[in-house]
Amino acid sequence: MREVFQAIDQEIGNMLTHIADDTYTVIFSGHGMQANALDVPSMMMLSEFMHRWHFGEPALAPGQLNQPLPEPETNYSQHWKHEIWNRRAATATGLDSPTEQQANGAPLSWMPANWYKPLWPQMRAFALPSYSEGQIRINLKGREARGLVDIGEYDALCQALCEQLEQLTNARTGKPMVRKISRTRQHPLESSPNAAPADLLVHWDESGPTDAVDHPLIGRIGPVPYFRTGGHRSHGFLMTKGPGIEAGTRLAEGKATDIPATILTLMGISPPSYFDGRSLIKSTLQTSDQSARRSPAKEKELSVHAS
């Protein structure tokens, strides 16, 4: 991987030697990469937690509290979905297998959270398939086709779920699994087109990965084979060089939606008012003296974080 990064860096350097001094160059990534501590909790463990919380029994990866954990399993002979499916409880019923879902054309047949879908109508709340933050949707009357939860129960149920989830711990370290839980709606029937599909977003602790979690009421989930050692993170980067940009300058953090506005500003174009983002570069760069714009002495570099 280091050799790949070095090769990319070398090629960027080669390109820059062919770019005119009065030209802006922008390199960016809307997200970054880190060790993956989020996928397994969101794709598998949260849905199993919700199953046990509602039905009182395990469906996948039943474990024993206070038992020694074996070494983490990262080498396995089958696809991860089959390894997880083979760890279902003997009493598990109602789940779709990944093979059945794949045969039916389900695009998320490989994700364990999707196997619980046939049971969602029976549950007061369930976990949606997701990659990073865990997502919980309340099975609300008046919103879901087969809703179970009255609007008057919504707040109390959200609070109860938060209290239970906050008791989840990393079975390897004993540390809390949940960093925080966000409510996405002011009102349960909020119907904004921008409203999230989930009612609760579970933000996991990212200090380290785990293959097993413990809870005083639902027991241990796992251990399970680990999936994907690397994953996306919200912090990306933006770097630009060109006339009028001072070397070493660092701006405040922005957002991925700021990147298009920034590029337009460097092109001398005012970002349209309907853009969600704002330029991270001052528009005064575009009014600088043209001779200065063409001066190699003015060609500098800028590093900006975009989240």
Q: Quick one: 220 and 80 in the same domain?
A: yes
H or E element that contains 82: helix 80-85
Write the pLDDT tens digit of every residue in 113-154.
999 999 999 999 999 999 889 999 999 999 999 999 999 999
Of the residues 167, 201, 230, which one is the last residue of a structural domain?
230
Q: Rounded to an integer, what distance in angstroms lies between the CA atom of residue 107 and that of residue 97?
A: 13
AA letter at 232: H
Q: Rounded to an integer, what distance in angstroms lies between the CA atom of residue 142 and that of residue 295?
A: 65
Of the residues 230, 254, 274, which one is the last residue of a structural domain?
230
Q: Rounded to an integer, what distance in angstroms lies between the CA atom of residue 86 and that of residue 100?
A: 14
Domain that holds residue 269: 2-31+234-304
End-to-end CA distance of the chain: 24
Q: Quick one: 241 and 257 in the same domain?
A: yes
> No. of H helices and E strands in the chain?
9, 14
Which carries the bigger pLDDT value, residue 73 or residue 300? 73
Q: Quick one: 165 and 258 in the same domain?
A: no
Q: Where are the alpha helices (DSSP H) in 122-210?
A: 154-165
Q: Quick one: 139 and 72 in the same domain?
A: yes
Segment among 17-21, 69-73, 219-223, 289-293 with least mean pLDDT: 289-293
Domain count, the chain: 2
Residues found in the chain: 307
Mean pLDDT (the chain) is 88
Q: Rounded to an integer, what distance in angstroms lies between the CA atom of residue 111 and that of residue 114?
A: 6
User: Which residues does 43 contact at the CB level (< 8 Å), separation at least 6?
Assistant: 111, 112, 113, 129, 130, 131, 227
Q: With bands split at pLDDT 50, 70 and 90, how would you rate the model's confidence at 285?
A: low
User: Which residues does 222 contact at the CB level (< 8 Å), separation at least 6?
Assistant: 45, 61, 63, 171, 210, 211, 212, 213
Per-residue pLDDT, averaged over 4-8, amounts to: 95
Q: Quick one: 50 and 184 in the same domain?
A: yes
